[in-house]
Amino acid sequence: MTKLGAAPISAPGWTAQPKEGVKIVDCDVHHNFERPEQLLPYLSRFWQNHLIDQGLHLPSAGYSNVPYRTNRSDLKDPGLKERDFNFTLEFMQREHLDPWNIDFALLTGPPPFYGYTGLPDPDWAAALCRAFNDWTIEHWLEKDERVVNAILISPSDPAQAVSEINRLADRPDTAAIMVPMGTSMPFGNRFYHPIWEACEEHGLPVIAHIGGGGGAARTTPTPVGFPTYYMESRMSRPFVASTHASSLICEGVFEKFPNLKFALTEAQQLWAVAVMWHMDSDWKAIRDQTPWLKRLPSEYFREHIRVGSQPMHEAETTEQLYQFLDMLHADETLVYCSDFPHFDWNDPVTTFPKLAPETQQRIFADNALEMLRIGDALR
Amino acid sequence: MTRVVIAKVWEIPPGGRKIVVPFRGRAGIGVFNVNGRLYALRNICPHKRGPLCTGELTGQIAADAPPSAYDSDLKVNGEGEVLRCPWHQWPFEIATGRCLVDPEVRVKTYPVRIDGNDIVVDLDD
């Protein structure tokens, strides 16, 4: 079939704009392998046999998505099989990095793969992360300096996660670590602290993307069980994110690791305002239970926690959206995420109403540059 | 009125479409053949400016009652008459340009006709 004129219509006027410095850092760009067998060269002999015999066998909650495996249907390409997307850097360059003039794109891997957080065997999960990271290095990172990596780690075995961070931390294209939000314990739990310690030591922020569980690979996506439909499962995301955020604050993670930054992505944003407001009022009443917190919870939030901009709320009025960005302290907390190539992606042009230039620069570039470990020479 | 030839009639069979991008300095146009009738839509989604006409064809998915009620049939009415934007999946009725999930939203339509072997769109000047 012929390609159906897939070039983004909004893009040409956008890319024609002259610019100085870094204008767009996209903190959520999904790349993917075409076949699991592509990971074979990066697995040990034992795990190669395992993959050949068993496949990936990643757990999933079984929710449907939209047609075309969650992807934008305008990205169908005659050079690929009809349902294949984004398996090559060339595709990502042509369809996303070039037309939208993306300065840096943080690779976050394929969400179905995030099911590794729900694997009962932590060694298989860790082996998959290592293999995926090495495949990413060879096929994506070494070919385009706009592409930087959020290295995948498995939270189910912190010791192996730390080893993986130490193994790859010195690479200049390692900008962050990536962990799916679907876990069996919230991220503030001391079980995970060795991972956060390693991140802080290397100056790497944590990107926690919805998926794995929260998509229910390991636990129910809500505290009240399994909803029936995909849309309901999406509505549960803010609760997953707010649970992780309040856990990180209450357990004193940011007292213990004062330079750690932690982003929660693809879980909407309104929850963040609720967490800041509600925690501040509760803190005044019941701080005695967490006396190691020296500051208002919202102060920890604004200094350490970042919120992905996708999927951005579509408020009833533009004025409401401006108010919401103000309540969120978006100029400190919000980082632009496109979620390319998914159907619910947010393009750089129409996602927000016209912003003040300083706010635009904060949301689309500076908040991310201050969080990610991107070499100063590249800025 | 300006007469613009989009295609020869055999280029757009039933179920087919042709997209012209850009279209006279505009965002592009898509001409669809739905069950033998031709319709032309602007190739730009009024929601977030996505390339609407490159989307998937579908029908109106309908159910008279929740699945727990007496009638649990999920129907696909008018298959091929609805276009789903590839960005965010909003459905539009091709014949009218009407958005099926927001009555305030409509994509621009153009009159389209057959003139000999040509499929022609007449544009306001």
Q: What is the CATH number of the domain that holds A34?
A: 3.20.20.140
β pairing state of B29-34 and B17-20: antiparallel
| Closest listed residue to residue A143, CA positions, set A192, A107, A196, A188 | A107
Please give the residue range of the domain that contains residue A286.
Answer: 21-374
For chain A, say whether B50 makes contact (Cβ under 8 Å). Answer: yes
- Other CB atoms closer than 10 Å to residue A190's CB: what's the count? 12
| Total domains in the fold of chain A | 1
A205 falls within a domain? yes
Q: Is the peptide bond before B22 cis (omega within 30 degrees of 0)?
A: yes
DSSP letter for A312, please: P
A4 falls within a domain? no
A85 falls within a domain? yes
Phi and psi at residue A211, in whole multiples of 5°?
Answer: 135, 180
A40 falls within a domain? yes
Contact assessment for residue A229 and residue A200, using Cβ atoms and an 8 Å cutoff: no
C-alpha A345 chain-centroid distance: 13
From B17, B51, B89, residue closest to A66, measured CB to CB:
B89
pLDDT digits (tens, 9 = 90+) for B54-67: 899 999 988 888 88
Residue B122: band (very low, low, confident or very high) from pLDDT cuts 50, 70, 90: confident
Output the pLDDT for position A20: 73
A15 falls within a domain? no
Query: Which residue has 């893009």 as its token pair?
Result: A11
C-alpha A117 chain-centroid distance: 15
Output the pLDDT for position A116: 93
Contact assessment for residue A205 and residue A260, using Cβ atoms and an 8 Å cutoff: yes
ipTM at complex level? 0.84
Contact assessment for residue A181 and residue A244, using Cβ atoms and an 8 Å cutoff: yes
Contact assessment for residue B63 and residue B72, using Cβ atoms and an 8 Å cutoff: yes
From B51, B88, B89, residue closest to A6, measured CB to CB:
B51
| Closest listed residue to residue A146, CA positions, set A227, A89, A76 | A89
Instruction: Say if pTM beats, i.e. exceeds, 0.80.
Output: yes
For domain B2-123, the question of CATH label 3.40.228.10 is answered with no
Minimum distance, in Å, between the CA of residue B25 and any CA atom of chain A? 12
Q: Where are the alpha helices (DSSP H) in B1-125?
A: none
**Ordered mean pLDDT values, 10 residues apiece, chain A (379 residues):** 39 49 94 94 98 93 76 70 70 90 95 90 97 97 94 96 98 96 93 98 97 65 87 92 97 98 97 98 94 97 98 94 97 97 92 94 96 71
Whether the per-residue pLDDT at B52 is higher than 80: the answer is: yes
Q: Supply A84's token pair.
A: 């294949």
B51 to A74: CB separation less than 8 angstroms, yes or no: yes
From B28, B87, B89, residue closest to A5, measured CB to CB:
B28
A6 falls within a domain? no
Q: How far apart are CA A174 and CA B117, in angstroms?
A: 59
